[in-house]
Structure 1
Amino acid sequence: MTRRQRTLMDRAYQEIRQRYMTLQLRPGDWIDDLKISEEMQLSRTPVREALFLLASEGLVLVRPGGGFLVRPLDLIDTSNLFEAHVVVAKAVARLAALRATPEDLKELRAADAAVQQAILRRDPAGIAADNSCLHRLEATAAHNEYFMRLACQIHDQEQRLGYLAFGGTDDWDQIHDHFVLVQKDHSELIQAYEDRDPDTAEAIATRHVQLFRKRIMEFFARSDTDTVDLSGDVLTFGS
């Protein structure tokens, strides 16, 4: 692939990924790669290459016989996601508490500040993106490539969930208390890393996953069924 081809594919990738995260591409919908290529004034080749890359990341699905689907969003899949998240979050927190470097901690503090600013702006897309960035940096601070890959896959899916839950409320005051707790968790978790305290870090990380799960369940309970597929069982993730 030439540099120009790579640049065009990267452009298509970033645009489609943004549409995915902000639900401009609705869960379960067929992706019209021809329409996207026309909107972006690109040929179909870089768009399809971008879609195959997104498929490798689990964000879109390749349809039998050709074509692409936006990854569906339902309660069974979300339950499995949180089940995986709590296991990975515990491991990442313990390792980060033992291995985070001063530079890692500096980056985490900066990422936490970005989340706080997005909350002050009442920017759902910004909150979801900056929060995902913070937790990817957290996984990086664990200095384990396998956990980092797992954590990035989980936070890719949860960024979309976050935008759905934070952008789907008509009354921002409804989630004010949630964000107060989010900021508390982030601050205390980073402090546990600085203190080299893996037990406290693991406990806060678990609490933080449960907090996000609670927000998602509340959103699902209040949302219209035509905005998200609520088929399947209720969330069964335990405490």
Structure 2
Amino acid sequence: MTSIAELPLSIQISKKLEDDIIYGVYSPGAKLDEQELCERYGASRTPIREALKLLAAEGLVEIRPRRGAIIPTINPLTLCEMFEVMAELEAMCGRLAARRILPEEKQELMRLHDLCRDYLNQNDSENYYEANRLFHFAIYQASHNAFLIEQACNLHKRLHPYRRLQLRVNNRMNHSFSEHNDIVEAICAGDEQRTEDLLKAHVVIQGQKFTDFMSTIESHPLQ
């Protein structure tokens, strides 16, 4: 799997800017000046603009005609509601995957699970998240319900910055991997109800851990 440092510059910048937005370096309503971003991230305008487009697709940035990019106001209640819906969508994907997963899809799911283990052992939260993201997408695909896959992928993309950062909560990667292990076992055993219950709990916990993470930021804001 490609490491973070090997990703295109625009994606590297989008991840740094993503952190800065969530950490509060840029406040809701703030306009993002391209020249300032170029200086902060040491890049030309082209990758900066590409990064802004990536973040706009995730809802972290709004690009307005003749006004440029701004940071939208993020409603914490809306985030909680999105995590609730994500938990239900993932649970449904898991239940169907336990019933419909193909042998080659099981192999891919286990390969991604092993990849998560490798990054866990390296204490590499960034690449763990990337492998984790593919792990969840593999479960969506194994549901073999095209409409459900589309909805789950779209909401996952909206929530991905917050799912990524919650891994920085103390010992969250270890717990995440342990939860994945139970999910893989349930899917491979064809246990639909257990898979549904495990995935719902897994995503609900992610929302809770993100709230914990944000609380620590508010208590110790960046200077």
- TM-score (normalizing by structure 1): 0.71
Alpha-carbon deviation of 1:37? 5.9
Map residues 27-106 of structure 1 onto 2, 5 A cutoff.
28=28, 29-36=30-37, 39-41=42-44, 44=46, 47-48=48-49, 51-52=52-53, 54-63=55-64, 65-70=66-71, 72-106=73-107
Runs of 5+ consecutive residues of structure 1 not aligned to the other structure: 1-9, 170-174, 229-239
Contact 1:30 1:68 in 2 (8 A): yes
Q: Mark the CA change 1:50 to 1:213 in structure 2 (over 3 Å): closer, same or farther.
A: closer
Partner of 1:114: 115
Alpha-carbon deviation of 1:188? 1.7
Q: Give distance in 2, aligned partners of 1:164 and 1:50.
A: 18
Q: Mark the CA change 1:149 to 1:30 in structure 2 (over 3 Å): closer, same or farther.
A: farther
Q: Give distance in 2, aligned partners of 1:135 and 1:71.
A: 27
Q: Are 2:210 and 1:209 aligned?
A: no
Alpha-carbon deviation of 1:93? 0.9
Contact 2:86 2:203 in 1 (8 A): yes
Q: Are 2:11 and 1:14 aligned?
A: yes
Amino acid at match of 1:134: F
Contact 2:166 2:206 in 1 (8 A): no
Alpha-carbon deviation of 1:159? 3.2
Map residues 68-217 of structure 1 onto 2, 5 A cutoff.
68-70=69-71, 72-167=73-168, 175-176=170-171, 178-217=172-211
Q: Give distance in 1, aligned partners of 2:17 and 2:152.
A: 19
Alpha-carbon deviation of 1:19? 2.7
Partner of 2:4: none
Alpha-carbon deviation of 1:198? 1.4
Alpha-carbon deviation of 1:144? 2.5
Q: Give distance in 1, aligned partners of 2:153 and 2:185.
A: 22
Q: Mark the CA change 1:182 to 1:74 in structure 2 (over 3 Å): closer, same or farther.
A: same
* Percentage of pairs with the same residue: 22
Per the alignment, in what secondary structure is the counterpart of residue 224 of structure 1? helix
The alignment yields a C-alpha RMSD, in angstroms, of 3.0
Q: Give distance in 2, aligned partners of 1:82 and 1:119.
A: 24
Q: Mark the CA change 1:150 to 1:201 in structure 2 (over 3 Å): closer, same or farther.
A: same
Alpha-carbon deviation of 1:111? 1.5
Q: Deviations over 1:67-111 (max 9, x none)?
A: 113455442232122122112112111121122212221121121
Alpha-carbon deviation of 1:57? 4.4
Contact 2:52 2:69 in 1 (8 A): yes
Q: Give distance in 2, aligned partners of 1:222 and 1:11.
A: 31
Contact 1:128 1:160 in 2 (8 A): no
